[in-house]
Amino acid sequence: MLEKSSWKALLSSILKAAFVALVISLMYVPIVIIIYQSFNAGANSITPLEWGGFTWDNFAEIFTNRELYTPILDSLLVSLWATVLATIGGLFASIGIHALDKKARKTMDFLNEIPMMNSEIVTGISIMLLCSLVKPLFPYIFGFTSMAIAHIFFMIPYVILMVLPKLEQLDESVFEAAQDLGCSPTKALFKVIIPSLSTAILTGALIAFTLSIDDFVISFYTQGNGFTNFSNYVYSSYTKRNFSAGSYAFDALLTFVTLGIVLFVSLRSAHKHKEAK
């Protein structure tokens, strides 16, 4: 017979395992369902998860269905440009924040956290109103421009959040040593500091791209007529009952690409860490 304390320990272990299993299920079951539907020939039907046989046609539809690939291209266009500009802006903002004194740095850290804590609907409506105010001067601002501005606005804080801690870990004497060896401050920045931050920069860019490619709320208020991203297309097409199964395929493709990038970065970091030892 197990003692009372043993029963409590066993029950605690079971509850912990059940909780971990529940969290993992909530995280990964939706991804598994998307991948399942991407290869499902019956995914076009309204009945969810009804297996109609294995097919590659859903992936082919990404390139053949104009109503699908147009918002996909719009999404990629916005996300790529916004990621590049937000990464550059976040990098140099991090360097500027790092150069401040301790009190000013804390203030900037607080200000950087506000856009991340702010509700997406507030951000989306605010940028929509701002674009509306300048529309008489820039008639075509709604569309790619408004959506890109909105995405850059909410992506920069995440890049700063990734880059700034790594920047604070760098030895400042490295920058001084580069200058002693003949580098100008600008050359030392680009030749020494930025390469040292490459992992943090890549991580920030990946997070920024992920946030941009699947954003719905902010994009909904800033998309304009004739320009929409993939998430808004999915919402619109599903509510209108003309949902394309190629949407599942594109989601699965994004998952595979993201997983591949994460594995590449992880293996590269592990290899560098092993070499350093």
Quote the pTM value. Answer: 0.80
Q: Looking at residue 88, what is its pLDDT?
A: 93
Q: Looking at residue 224, what is its pLDDT?
A: 79
CA distance 248 to 61: 10
CA distance 166 to 94: 10
CA distance 74 to 8: 56
| Token pair belonging to 106 | 């804390």
Q: Which residues of the chain have pLDDT under 70?
A: 1-5, 44-48, 273, 275-277
CA distance 75 to 146: 13
Q: Please state the φ and ψ torsions of residue 104, each to the nearest 5 degrees.
A: -65, -35
pLDDT in tens, 67-104: 888 888 999 999 999 999 999 999 999 888 888 888 88
Q: Looking at residue 238, what is its pLDDT?
A: 76
Q: Looking at residue 45, what is its pLDDT?
A: 58
Q: Looking at residue 266, what is its pLDDT?
A: 77
Q: Looking at residue 4, what is its pLDDT?
A: 63
Nearest Cα residue to 116 out of 218, 16, 43, 240: 218
Nearest Cα residue to 218 out of 209, 231, 208: 231
